[in-house]
Every structure is written in structure tokens, then in C-alpha cells.
Structure 1
């Protein structure tokens, strides 16, 4: 396109992104708002070595805000002139707001999207949380989870060192007990089990015991798809009745970004229902 829209999602690849559908639905909820008359949203494919240039060109053509997806979240973090506390904690940025003068505010809405989706099903306060994985997806949601005042948080990973690094980063500023473990050495049971690994993308199961799922537990997979994910299949076989995939997190993080840009908070439920029908 010769003229870029006011808002974009930047990534490589990007053709698969559902973000334009989501933000168009959000904007339609506020069709009477004059401030949204110029709101447009589309995909922007950036070269793997050209994220900064693409962002600069976007701003030069009137760009106001951007979502950032794989593989540019860490680069967006480094380029941001200002960072929100949750972006600092995540070490990655998935939402940018243009401040003028080639300056950007960097935010990370992934954790807020996850928490909002979980709260549609259970309260997090006082729960024993098990977070599976210690990569960027896990790090991005730890602060928002801790802010919900759970009983405890256990981070489990294939290698202990990465889990210990997250523990060392978050424990000093948290009154919530943070424990670490490898997958195979996990003991105890948990009320909320979140899969933040990429195992489901590869069709893999995780080497965890079915006993980690407490009675009435909620199993949550950040991944989503048309079929049941391998992790949610494991949870079902362990007798878990409440099993949720990450589509609601996707819509939730988008709602946070939309609110940052516009000051308007959209209703997530009808948009999520729309996406479920499309799946």
C-alpha cells in the first residue's frame, strides 16, 4: 500500500495474523466515536533485518501505534524510548505508541491479556500456579500473574537454569513465593497450570505427571488451534474439566493495546465468539 494505516501489526511472517480482524471488530464497537474516524489497522511485513527502518517509515507516514510480533519483540524493547513497568519486567515489547520525534512508548500487553482471560473462568488470588516454560512467553506474564496475589508460583522448565534465572529476576520484588523445578522433578499439585512452552506447536506432550493437576484445576495453554492442543489433551486425560486455549489471551492482549491507543476499552466477549466461529 502507498499510504500506511494509522495502526499496524509488524512481524515476519505476518500474513497469518488475526489482529486486523480483532481491531476492526473493536473499532466497530465505537463507531460513533469521532476520535476513531481515522483509525485503520493492517498487517506490515518487515524484513528480518529491517524492523527499525520499517517502524521509522511507518511513523513518517503518520503511524500512531503498532503491535509487534515474532521475531521483533526484543528489538522493539531496545528501540523504545520509554517502557511501561510490565514491558520492563517482560524484557520484550508487543505494543508501541508513537510519542512524536521518532520516540516510542513500549508496552507488553501479553500478561494482562492472559490474566483477563483466566479471570473469566477462575479467580487467581490464593491459587497455586504452575507456569510451564521459562522463555519469553513465560517471562512476559509473570508480573501480571503475581499482581493477582496467588498463593505461590512455580516455574518449571526442561532445564533448571532458565527457570532459576526468572526466579532470581522476579523474587526480590515479590512477596509471593516463587519456586523452580524441572518438568520431570515436579512435585505437588496446582490449581492453575499454564503452558507457556512452544511444545503444542510441534505436537509434543510435556513430561509432567498427571498428579500436578489439582481437583478443580484450570489448565491453560497459551497456544490455540482448530484442534485440541497436546497439553490440553494431557489435562483432559488427567481428569481436568476446565481446559482453555490461548485464543482469549490473543484477543485480551489486543484489547489492552486498543485501550492504550484510544482510551476506549472494548468488549472482548463478542470478538472472541466471532473468532471461535471462524476457527
Structure 2
């Protein structure tokens, strides 16, 4: 039976094992899937031990996505554009890296939530592995200007350079938020919600038709979702749908068949599902 895992730090909260096992049942594919906690300094050793034990593929979550890119022998074009990897496949004794985050986010927003992303003035908060994973796909989906903000300006600048579209992509310091005006789409790609705290986000970012999206889900998404609702966002969406859709993309890479995702939502814990939208 093939072995798979999700690596992160922390990772005990992850729904990925439940999701992938549900996909396996749906398609009649037997597999093992576990969550492995690996702090950044021990990630390489943990990944090698997993490979030695027969690991065939892995999902990578915070804060290891950029490290996974560096450990990959080869990478897909979308992983290279992101400079981050969230999916690893073991082939010919080497790790091959891909990034399914952006595809998962866009599929969730445009499919399940029926959003038209074209022409949306967009703010992306954060410049780490999560932000890197979704930025290229948002641009490909037809958003208008993409503003990148981060506490460390150099990281926002580096992401903007990697995206290579200076006419559409604008790096800014997080302290400039009050000057940027209203956005059609605000995406939180930071992990600040895990500690229950968010950067100071001005109310002026949101209008009556603004959509706010947190790439986290469950308890980690509560602070941003609460901020968005309190300040009048038209819709507030957490990252549960993105998690399921990117998992389906990863599953297809490993097994050659993409599962249906609608069935999986029904199997998820109600306390997570209740946080998906606030229409």
C-alpha cells in the first residue's frame, strides 16, 4: 500500500489525511496517509526518513513550502513561478516538486463560490510560501492590479520580481495599507491567525462588494474572517475549499485520476465546514 504524508509545523490540525483517505475510498485506491510534524531545521531529515520508509508522495504546508522547492530535484513550471512547492512525488529515487495551491484556490473561488475574478483589484497580504503558491494563478485568472504587502518589504519585492509583471504587480510595505484604497478581493496569505492576531488592517480596504479570502481554515481563519465580517465585506471565505481542491490536484498527480470533491465536503467536520463562507 502506497504511503503519503503532509509535512508542516505545526501540522496536527491538518485535515489532509481525512481528505486523501476519503478520495481513496471514493476511487477504490488503497493508501496510507499521515501527518508529520517537521520544524524547518529538521525537514530534510524527516523527508529522507519518509522516503526510506517507502514514501511515494507528500503534501507540504507552512512553513516548509519554500524549503521543499529547494529540495526538489525537478519542478513544474507552476512551482518555478511560485518559487514554492506544496506537492512532492517520489520518482526514480528523487523528489519532484509541484504547486497545486493556486489551481486549488481559483477552482474553489470560480467553481464552488461562483466568483468571476476577472478585472478584480486585488490585495495579497503576505509574501511567503502560501502567497507565492497562489499569486501566479490569480494573475492567470485575469485579476487586474495585484498589490503585495508584507512586513518585510524585501520579500514582497522578491515575489513581485519573480512574478515578472511590473505593470500589474505592485509590492508595498504593510505600513502603506491605509493609502491603497478599496479592493475587490483581499487575500490573507499570512499565518498570523494561528496565534490569534492579525496585522492592523484598515477598514478602508473593504467595500460593499469586496470579497475577503483567508488561505487558512478552521480556528486559524477566525481572526481574519471576523475582521472581514465586522468591516462589511460582501463575502468572507476561508481556505477549506482551497485545501480540498488542491488536495484533489495532488491526488491526481500521484494516482492519475482526479477525485470528485463535492462528496468530501460532506465528510468534513461541521465546525470546519461552518467557517467556509459568510454570505
Alignment correspondent of 1:117:
108
SS in 2 for 1:216: coil
CA contact (8 A) 2:8 2:60 kept: yes
The SS at the match of 1:64 is: strand
Match of 2:80? 88
Select between 7-16 and 189-198 the one with higher mean Cα deviation. 7-16
CA positional deviation for 1:142 = 0.9
CA shift, 1:109, in A, is 1.6
Structure 2: how far apart are the matches of 1:23 and 1:201? 23
Alignment match of 1:263 (pick from 244, 256, 267): 256
Contact 1:149 1:176 in 2 (8 A): no
Residue of structure 2 aligned with 1:160, choices 146, 153, 156: 153
Report the Cα offset of residue 257 of structure 1.
0.6
Quote the offset at 1:5 in angstroms: 4.5
> What is the distance in 2 between the residues matched to 1:200 and 1:47?
19
Matched, 1:106 2:97: yes
Does the CA contact (< 8 Å) of 1:114 and 1:248 recur in 2?
A: yes
Q: Structure 1-normalised TM-score?
A: 0.85
**Structure 1 residue matching 2:91: 3-state secondary structure:** strand
Match of 1:241 in 2: 234
Which aligned segments of 4 or more residues in structure 1 are displaced greater than 6 angstroms? Answer: none
What TM-score results when the alignment is normalised by the length of structure 2? 0.85
Is residue 136 of structure 1 aligned with residue 133 of structure 2?
no
Asked if 1:16 is matched to 2:8, the reply is no
Q: State the shift of 1:161 in Å.
A: 3.3
- Larger deviation, residues 158-167 vs 230-239: 158-167
Tell me: CA distance 1:68–1:164, structure 2 relative to 1, closer, same or farther (3 Å): closer
Separation of aligned partners in 1, 2:134 and 2:220: 24
- Give the deviation of 1:191 after TM superposition: 1.0
Q: Which runs of 5+ in 2 are unaligned?
A: 273-279
Aligned equivalents of 1:124 and 1:201: distance in 2?
A: 27
After TM superposition, give the deviation of residue 204 of structure 1 in Å: 2.0
- Does structure 1 residue 252 correspond to structure 2 residue 245? yes
Give the direction of change, closer, same or farther, for the CA distance of 1:168–1:234 in structure 2 (3 Å limit): same
Which of 16, 29, 33 is residue 41 of structure 1 equivalent to?
Answer: 33
